[in-house]
Structure 1
Amino acid sequence: MPHERTILLVDGQSFYASIEKAARPDLKDKPVAVGDPARKNGIILAACPIAKSRGVTTAERVAEAMAKCRDLVVIRPRMQTYISVSLLITEIFESITDLVEPYSIDEQFLDVTGSISLLGSAEEIARLIQTRVKLSTGVWSRVGIGPNKILAKMATDNFSKKNPAGIFELTHNNIETELWPLPVHKMFMVARRMSAHFARMGLHTIGDIARLDLNEFKRQMRLRMGRQSDIQAEYYWQTANGIDPSPVVPGMRSQIKVINNGRALKWSMYRTMEDIEPLMVELVIEVCRRARRYGYMGRVVAVGAAETDGYQSSSFGRQMTLQRPSYLEHEVGAAVHELFLKHWKGMPLTQLHITLTDLSDDRVYQLDLFEDRERLIRREKAVDTLKDKFGPTAIVRASSLLKTGQAFERAAQIGGHWA
């Protein structure tokens, strides 16, 4: 029988805010949040524990956070710095084990099964990691320990973050007493909508799902969500029972299932279709450019938007299947335009997102008797080459010069934030 694995999920506490406080010792005892202080309707990306204790929350508006905490110091994000620190932390982890899998910019999985004989128990390794990362970056780490990635992740999210030591081990020996009593929304990958489905099924805790027979759970899920829900049912049942055979894979996960891009917007600027179209075109261009970079064409185009007039709000998310997979801007753009006009109620926009899914390898595609697709693909790839060499604004649509275009502002940012 193979030896049980030992997996860690290491999370950097208030990652962006911790980096900023480490760079500014004068802010050590002050409430700090990362966001754009010049954009009061922008969102808080991270808040330090002091700010959180005063009611500041991630993803709330900057103006709301500053109203709650009058002495809040809001610092504009420096994404390149955060990426560099994340890569430094990866190097620290790789000095402990060669099995390191980044999960996000501030979370990484480590398989330390082979390191225990050299460095001590999983808890001792966790403390070693906390010390090295803190000394090198100023970031305090919370560490979840488990026999697999799922349990390590849920140990971090539900227990390590509340434990003063920042370490918690969740195993099959204590899952029933520690994890199962938690409300079902505390389970990994269970969001608000799925929690509501489970509540209507009478499943209020993680243990309610774990204790069910799998076939009975599938039956209940089919009644609630249709026959296609069997795969979902098996996934949630295995998660509740702490079953996860997936390995820790060094490097970033390579399989891409979705390519998307979106913006949170100043609703006062995006009131008419004339205002919205320059941004919509830019989003289509970026989604298609990413798809070409990754070597995928998409068959399904989706548009999501939120709108408000200050009194009432509305949102929608709709998708359309193209006649053939594509990453050509005029084909994807036509679908986006049609979907948006069909479902937009005409109020000013606060969010707009475009997504390309049902991806397939771009080395195989359907030819067209009436359109030279190869020539169009070569043309768009030639534009990509120029942008890669000279920058994303080397060639832009004329509409990006209008006041609601964002191409030039975004070119100076990383991931939508200042570098």
Structure 2
Amino acid sequence: MQSATEVLRKIIHIDMDAFYASVEQRDFPELAGKPLAVGGSPDGRGVVATASYEARKYGVRSAMSSRQALQLCPHLLFTKPRFEVYKQVSDHIRSIFRRYTELIEPLSLDEAFLDVTEDKAGIGSAIEIAQAIKDAIKDELNLTASAGVSINKFIAKIASDYQKPNGLTFIGPSKVIPFLENLPIDKFFGVGKVTAQKMKGLGIHTGADLKRFSEDELRRYFGKSGKFFYHMVRGEDQRPVRPNRISKSIGIEDTFSADIADRDEMMLEFKTLCDKLEKRLENKSKSGRTITIKVKFSDFTQITRSKTNFYDIHRGNDMYLVVQELMEKVNVENLRVRLLGVTMSNFKGPDYIPKEGRQLSLF
């Protein structure tokens, strides 16, 4: 494998700062400077989608229950997500990216990789391009973004998180190895809390500590991830920026303001979710074969059930028929449900045909 220093690509990772919360604070000045959670509710129900930096100081994080968030920050404010607005802002941000390159790999609404090895504006400097993008986002949208610039995706991703918020970090070819060797192990992208604790138990506290282990040793301790960790700490990442990154699944879910216990009411909610999922599939020109449902109960336990069809489907009514079949295998008697979800995956067939639909095979 090539060493990191032989790779001459110029990669930028742009990551918006507390995206949903920042949009809300921009649009509603009374929320500015206050601890804010997007998603969840002040009665303790639901889950936080993202939190402002003022809330993060108290330990509030995304995917945290509202109840836990309120325990950490009793004066936390809540607001409902406005995904249509976030999508519009995201589209504007990507139009800014396209001023410099067509090699854009979105990871979500608020972050993306850009390959500017050959930039459209002929600037030549990835650092200048990253700064120009940050300036345009601030001037045109009144939002801030953090940027990481380096020789590959992995290093650029770490760099963008290094000086958040509103940071710009450049890690050049000669700095990659020293930077990684001195980096605390829990700052490495892909190393979660559990893995970090296991590594520390093995005496691995920095990249330099990790580098002392052979690939075989790391595989023995961490399974398949060991190979990733071995190359990670050496700055080796040959993955190209993929403009047409394929979604592996598209889903939708809803957390209710009050638990529901009636099966008919659940099925009505599922029908609504299927109809909404149809629109999302249309927007992505997708159809799929595997339907997965998620049911989360009031005690936060959850189950999933899936079925794979022999043909592609995309219409809400077709998905709902599968959901009905799956729900027949789920016992919800005397149980209260707080969340339902539907996900489509296994996009094997050709792209969705919106007008004519798709004729099913006789066999």
TM-score, reference length from structure 2: 0.74
Gaps of 5+ in 2: none
- Measure, in 1, the Cα distance between the counterparts of 2:22 and 2:61: 15
The 3-state SS of whatever aligns with 1:4 is coil
- Which residue of structure 1 lines up, in the alignment, with residue 310 of structure 2? 324
- Measure, in 2, the Cα distance between the counterparts of 1:353 and 1:198: 35
Q: Could you tell me how far 1:146 is from its partner in structure 2?
A: 1.3
- Measure, in 2, the Cα distance between the counterparts of 1:339 and 1:288: 24
CA gap 1:335/1:211 in 2 versus in 1, 3 angstroms: farther
The 5 Å alignment of 1:16-415 reads 16-25=20-29, 27-35=31-39, 41-62=45-66, 65=69, 69=73, 72-115=76-119, 118-119=122-123, 121-157=125-161, 159-161=162-164, 166-171=167-172, 173-180=174-181, 182=183, 186-191=187-192, 210-218=211-219, 229=224, 233-250=226-243, 253=245, 255-266=246-257, 268-284=258-274, 287=277, 294-298=285-289, 300-309=290-299, 313-319=300-306, 322=308, 324-327=310-313, 328-329=318-319, 332-341=322-331, 347-361=335-349
- Measure, in 1, the Cα distance between the counterparts of 2:218 and 2:60: 39
Q: Could you tell me how far 1:115 is from its partner in structure 2?
A: 4.4
The 3-state SS of whatever aligns with 1:21 is helix
- Measure, in 1, the Cα distance between the counterparts of 2:197 and 2:345: 26
CA gap 1:194/1:286 in 2 versus in 1, 3 angstroms: farther
Deviations 1:308-356 (A, max 9, x none): 35xxx53334545x47345343663255225533xx6953223333334
Q: Could you tell me how far 1:34 is from its partner in structure 2?
A: 3.2
- Measure, in 2, the Cα distance between the counterparts of 1:183 and 1:333: 46
Over the matched positions of the two proteins, sequence identity in percent amounts to 26
Higher helix share: 1
The 3-state SS of whatever aligns with 1:135 is helix
The 3-state SS of whatever aligns with 2:348 is strand
Letter in 2 for 1:9: H
- Measure, in 1, the Cα distance between the counterparts of 2:176 and 2:100: 27
CA gap 1:5/1:302 in 2 versus in 1, 3 angstroms: same
Deviations 1:204-233 (A, max 9, x none): 766665554435544555xx5xxxx4xx55
CA gap 1:331/1:185 in 2 versus in 1, 3 angstroms: farther
Contact 1:19 1:137 in 2 (8 A): no
Contact 2:295 2:341 in 1 (8 A): yes
Deviations 1:278-312 (A, max 9, x none): 223444555567668744432x5444333235xxx
CA gap 1:331/1:203 in 2 versus in 1, 3 angstroms: farther
CA gap 1:334/1:41 in 2 versus in 1, 3 angstroms: closer
- Which residue of structure 2 lines up, in the alignment, with residue 398 of structure 1? none
Q: Could you tell me how far 1:377 is from its partner in structure 2?
A: 5.7
CA gap 1:277/1:247 in 2 versus in 1, 3 angstroms: same
Gaps of 5+ in 1: 364-374, 380-419
CA gap 1:195/1:339 in 2 versus in 1, 3 angstroms: farther
Contact 1:325 1:359 in 2 (8 A): no
Q: Which moved more, 1:86-95 or 1:7-16?
A: 86-95
Q: Could you tell me how far 1:359 is from its partner in structure 2?
A: 3.5
RMSD between aligned alpha carbons?
4.2
Q: Could you tell me how far 1:184 is from its partner in structure 2?
A: 5.2
Deviations 1:233-287 (A, max 9, x none): 544543443322233344x52x232233322234x43224344232234445555
Contact 1:22 1:137 in 2 (8 A): no
- Measure, in 2, the Cα distance between the counterparts of 1:91 and 1:330: 36
The 3-state SS of whatever aligns with 2:164 is helix
TM-score, reference length from structure 1: 0.66
